[in-house]
């Protein structure tokens, strides 16, 4: 069976649509919270930082699904819990892998969007 140009175009459109949907599975409220936190942590002109932080979130959302983002983000935040309660997070190698992955992704997307990663608050 020979593939027609129309079939190729339809296939390409479906592929693009599915990847666009994946990049947009972050709920709006979580997008807003990410950008607000990024703007807070990286001082600079408000409009410029809004755009740079939005760029970083969009880049992050293209690379990971929201559920994976939540797992990595939660583990990263919980890693700083002191004492015995935080020991579980610090001792779980699978969570440490997620934390390293999240930090690497954060650095990559922020550098790609020209956010100074050297001096966040």
Q: What confidence tens digit (pLDDT) does each residue in 99-120 have? A: 999 999 999 999 999 998 775 4
Residue 49 CA to its chain's centroid (Å):
16
Q: Provide, rounded to the nearest whole percent, the portion of the chain with pLDDT above 90.
A: 59
Mean pLDDT of 66-77: 93
Cα-flanking dihedrals φ and ψ of residue 49, to 5°?
-70, -35
3-state secondary structure (DSSP) of residue 106: helix
- Best CA proximity match to 33, nearest among 8, 60, 9: 60
Which pLDDT score, from 0 to 100, does residue 79 have? 87
Give the Cα-Cα-Cα angle 88, 65, 53 (nearest 5 degrees).
95
Q: Indicate the pTM of the whole model.
A: 0.73
pLDDT digits (tens, 9 = 90+) for 15-69: 444 444 445 689 999 999 999 999 999 999 999 999 999 999 999 999 999 999 9
pLDDT of residue 6: 52
Q: Collect all residues with Cβ–Cβ distance below 8 Å to 88 and sequence separation of at least 6.
A: none
């Amino acid at each position: 069976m020979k593939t027609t140009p129309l079939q190729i175009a339809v296939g390409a459109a479906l592929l693009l649509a599915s990847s666009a949907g994946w990049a947009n599975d972050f709920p709006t409220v979580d997008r807003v919270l990410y950008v607000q936190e990024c703007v807070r942590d990286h001082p600079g002109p408000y409009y410029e930082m809004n755009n740079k932080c939005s760029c970083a979130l969009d880049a992050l959302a293209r690379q990971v699904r929201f559920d994976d983002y939540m797992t990595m983000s939660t583990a990263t935040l919980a890693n700083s819990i002191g004492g015995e309660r935080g020991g579980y997070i610090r001792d779980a190698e699978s969570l440490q892998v997620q934390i390293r992955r999240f930090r690497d992704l954060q650095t990559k997307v922020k550098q790609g969007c020209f956010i100074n990663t050297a001096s966040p608050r």
